[in-house]
Amino acid sequence: MRTVANILENKAPAFNVISPDAKVIEALQMMNSVNLSYLVVMKD
């Protein structure tokens, strides 16, 4: 039987993340390129 860890290893990241230092235009381009309605802003 598969574990939750096995399932999560094979899945793509749940969030689309952008750096707080990114420009607004970069965020908009990323959102537009994959039809997103939000981005998670996160430091590395």
pLDDT per residue over 9-34, tens digit each?
Answer: 777 666 789 999 999 999 999 999 98
Q: How far, CA to CA in Å, does 11 sit from each of 5, 7, 21, 39? A: 10, 7, 27, 18
For residues 27 and 37, what is the distance between their CA atoms, to the nearest angstrom? 11
pLDDT score at 28: 95
pLDDT score at 12: 62
pLDDT score at 8: 73
What's this model's pTM, rounded to 2 decimal places?
0.61
Between 1 and 27, name the one with better pLDDT.
27
pLDDT score at 13: 62
Strands 17-18 and 40-41: parallel
